Amino acid sequence: MTRPVRPLALVILTACMVYPGVTLLYQGLYAFVAGEYFNLLGLQGPWMDLALKLGIPPLVPMALKSLLGLAWIGGVLGLWAGDWRAYPLALLGAAGSLLYPGGPMVMGAIGLAALLFLREDSTKVPA
């Protein structure tokens, strides 16, 4: 059995799981624990601002942010276990992070590069 990605990619993806994966999960669930929305410098983020302009309940962007964080965490932990079914989940987390400006976008691009270019080749690695 070979892993979906190389060990170097697993280390890179673990850093990507910590930021933005864990931070997106924290920011999405913050309102349910603290009773107020997570914000930095009084800004709630572009997706919350867009949702408020379009009349979408604030619960929707918070839930999507939490689900994206869970996709990162579940995908990377599954890849560490060697499960090929976790590969699309990690790919979803990396691609979804491109929608968040700043650090998550950079880490999403790094995660996508690790997922797409550092894959294991089953013909070169013995089972």
Q: What is the pLDDT of residues 37-57, one digit of tens each?
A: 777 676 777 888 899 899 999
Q: How far is CA 117 from the centre of its chain?
A: 18
pTM listed for this prediction: 0.86
Inside any domain, residue 71: yes
Inside any domain, residue 90: yes
How many domains does the chain divide into? 1
Structural domain of 50: 7-36+43-117
Q: Mean pLDDT in the chain? A: 88
Is pLDDT at 13 greater than 90 in this prediction? yes
Instruction: Classify 125 in phi/psi space as left (phi over 0), alpha (psi -120 to 50) or beta.
Output: beta
Contact (CB, 8 A) for 125 and 6: no
Contact (CB, 8 A) for 4 and 119: yes
Inside any domain, residue 20: yes
Torsion of CA 13, 19, 21, 27, to 10 degrees: 180
The band of 127, judged by pLDDT with boundaries at 50, 70 and 90, is low
